[in-house]
Amino acid sequence: MLKTKVLIVAASSPIVSGIAGRYATALFELASEGKALDKVDAALDSFLGLLDGSEDLQRLIANPVFTAEEQVSAITALLKKAKIDGLAANFLSLVASKRRLFLVRPMIAAFKALLAEKNGVVSAEVTVAAPLSAPNREAVLAALEGQAGGKIALTEKVDPSIIGGLVVKMGSKMIDASLKTKLNAMKLAMIAG
């Protein structure tokens, strides 16, 4: 029965494609059935914090020289020390035993996307030339929530090359209101005209 559910969810949502998506979907379904979505989400956040803070852990995950046994042993010890247990710990140990640790970040991202989708939260990414001030961030967030008709999880990226304006990606939609794009359009119009 679980296999059928996983296939249905994976087929209906583009955010869970590939190997990482299949693992994330399975974890999501198990956590949902066990009413442990928030606990698993918090444990995965803790693991990401450990991963971001340790170059050794990043090497362990990315380097194919380590055997599955070495990865499982290291991950198990790390999870125990960090007090990450339950379904999230079992999941991370399974990923290590299957030699898929190099995909752990996309797996976690896909899990979080499924959780956001379940909670009615739409992910949006805004790219700006300089960091948004608090009032501008709130204005962008309000405009996007009005457009989406619900909650938005806003991620801000800074890219000085866009010169000014912003580029918004929300779902499959992209709005490019950057000064760079407008200047390029003017340049092409002047060349053609």
15 and 101 assigned to the same domain: yes
141 and 109 assigned to the same domain: no
Average pLDDT over residues 29-57: 95
111 and 134 assigned to the same domain: no
Average pLDDT over residues 115-128: 90
141 and 100 assigned to the same domain: no
102 and 71 assigned to the same domain: yes
15 and 90 assigned to the same domain: yes
105 and 131 assigned to the same domain: no
In this prediction, residue 8 carries a pLDDT of 33
Is 48 exposed, middle or buried (CB count within 10 Å of its CB: 0-12, 13-18, 19+)? middle
Bigger pLDDT: 13 or 82?
Answer: 82
25 and 101 assigned to the same domain: yes
Bigger pLDDT: 170 or 76?
Answer: 76
CA distance to 8, 11, 17, 184, per residue, from 4 (Å): 6, 11, 16, 49
Residue 75 sits in a domain whose CATH number is 1.10.520
76 and 139 assigned to the same domain: no
Total number of domains in the chain: 2
What is the residue whose two structure tokens read 């852990």? 57
46 and 105 assigned to the same domain: yes
Q: Please determine, for residue 5, whether its predicted confidence score (pLDDT) is greater than 60.
A: no
Give the number of other Cβ atoms within 10 Å of residue 124's Cβ.
21
Average pLDDT over residues 46-68: 93
75 and 141 assigned to the same domain: no
Average pLDDT over residues 16-45: 93
Q: How far apart are CA 100 and CA 108, in angstroms?
A: 12
The last residue of a domain, from among 86, 116, 146: 116
pLDDT single digits (tens) 134-146: 999 999 999 999 8
> Residue 84: pLDDT band by 50, 70, 90 thresholds?
very high
DSSP bridge pairs for 174: 169
The last residue of a domain, from among 93, 116, 139: 116
Structural domain boundaries enclosing 60: 2-116
The last residue of a domain, from among 95, 116, 137: 116
102 and 137 assigned to the same domain: no
